[in-house]
Amino acid sequence: MTTALIHQGPAYELSIDIDSSAYGHHLKFVTFVPTARNPEPQVKFQANLSRAELAELHAAIGRALAGQAVRASRSPGEPVAP
Protein backbone atom coordinates (compact mmCIF):
# COMPACT_ATOMS: atom_id res chain seq x y z
CA MET A 1 0.00 0.00 0.00
CA THR A 2 1.14 3.53 -0.74
CA THR A 3 0.06 6.30 1.62
CA ALA A 4 0.88 9.96 1.13
CA LEU A 5 0.00 13.00 3.20
CA ILE A 6 -1.27 15.61 0.72
CA HIS A 7 -2.10 18.46 3.10
CA GLN A 8 -1.49 19.00 6.80
CA GLY A 9 -2.57 21.99 8.83
CA PRO A 10 -3.33 22.57 12.49
CA ALA A 11 -6.98 21.59 12.08
CA TYR A 12 -7.15 19.38 8.97
CA GLU A 13 -5.23 16.61 7.22
CA LEU A 14 -5.80 15.05 3.80
CA SER A 15 -4.08 11.85 2.73
CA ILE A 16 -4.35 9.35 -0.08
CA ASP A 17 -4.02 5.56 0.12
CA ILE A 18 -3.48 3.43 -2.99
CA ASP A 19 -3.49 -0.34 -2.68
CA SER A 20 -3.08 -2.88 -5.50
CA SER A 21 -5.28 -5.95 -5.71
CA ALA A 22 -6.55 -8.49 -8.20
CA TYR A 23 -9.33 -6.01 -9.06
CA GLY A 24 -7.04 -3.08 -9.90
CA HIS A 25 -5.95 -0.23 -7.69
CA HIS A 26 -8.02 0.86 -4.71
CA LEU A 27 -7.73 4.66 -4.36
CA LYS A 28 -8.93 6.29 -1.15
CA PHE A 29 -8.88 9.93 0.00
CA VAL A 30 -8.97 10.22 3.79
CA THR A 31 -9.44 13.31 5.96
CA PHE A 32 -8.59 13.74 9.62
CA VAL A 33 -9.61 16.61 11.89
CA PRO A 34 -7.46 16.39 15.05
CA THR A 35 -9.46 19.16 16.76
CA ALA A 36 -12.82 17.36 16.37
CA ARG A 37 -14.68 16.19 19.45
CA ASN A 38 -14.05 12.56 18.48
CA PRO A 39 -11.17 12.69 16.01
CA GLU A 40 -11.03 9.77 13.60
CA PRO A 41 -10.08 9.35 9.93
CA GLN A 42 -12.98 9.79 7.48
CA VAL A 43 -13.02 8.32 3.97
CA LYS A 44 -14.16 11.09 1.61
CA PHE A 45 -13.76 9.29 -1.72
CA GLN A 46 -12.76 5.82 -2.82
CA ALA A 47 -12.75 3.90 -6.09
CA ASN A 48 -11.28 0.83 -7.72
CA LEU A 49 -9.35 1.94 -10.80
CA SER A 50 -7.78 -0.06 -13.57
CA ARG A 51 -4.13 0.56 -14.44
CA ALA A 52 -5.27 2.68 -17.41
CA GLU A 53 -7.62 4.75 -15.23
CA LEU A 54 -4.89 5.31 -12.63
CA ALA A 55 -2.52 6.35 -15.43
CA GLU A 56 -5.14 8.84 -16.71
CA LEU A 57 -5.48 10.30 -13.20
CA HIS A 58 -1.69 10.63 -13.06
CA ALA A 59 -1.68 12.37 -16.46
CA ALA A 60 -4.52 14.72 -15.41
CA ILE A 61 -2.59 15.75 -12.30
CA GLY A 62 0.49 16.33 -14.46
CA ARG A 63 -1.51 18.51 -16.86
CA ALA A 64 -2.96 20.50 -13.94
CA LEU A 65 0.54 21.11 -12.58
CA ALA A 66 1.70 22.20 -16.03
CA GLY A 67 -1.18 24.69 -16.19
CA GLN A 68 -3.00 22.93 -19.01
CA ALA A 69 -6.71 22.12 -19.23
CA VAL A 70 -7.42 18.89 -17.40
CA ARG A 71 -10.52 17.87 -19.36
CA ALA A 72 -12.79 19.09 -22.09
CA SER A 73 -16.19 20.43 -21.13
CA ARG A 74 -19.03 17.95 -21.56
CA SER A 75 -21.82 20.51 -21.36
CA PRO A 76 -22.28 23.64 -23.50
CA GLY A 77 -22.45 26.03 -20.54
CA GLU A 78 -19.44 24.69 -18.66
CA PRO A 79 -16.18 26.59 -19.22
CA VAL A 80 -12.88 24.77 -19.46
CA ALA A 81 -10.04 26.08 -17.28
CA PRO A 82 -7.20 27.56 -19.36
Specify the pLDDT at position 13. Answer: 94
Asked whether the beta carbons of 42 and 64 are under 8 A apart, the reply is no
| All domains in the chain, ordered by first residue | 2-65 (3.10.450)
Q: Is the pLDDT of residue 79 over 90?
A: no
Q: What is the pLDDT of residues 15-64, one digit of tens each?
A: 999 999 888 999 999 999 988 899 999 999 999 999 999 999 999 989 88
Asked whether the beta carbons of 46 and 26 are under 8 A apart, the reply is yes
Strands (E), the chain: 2-8, 13-21, 24-32, 42-49
Specify the pLDDT at position 23. Answer: 87
Greater confidence, 78 or 26? 26
- CB neighbour class for 28 (10 Å; exposed up to 12, middle 13-18, buried from 19): middle
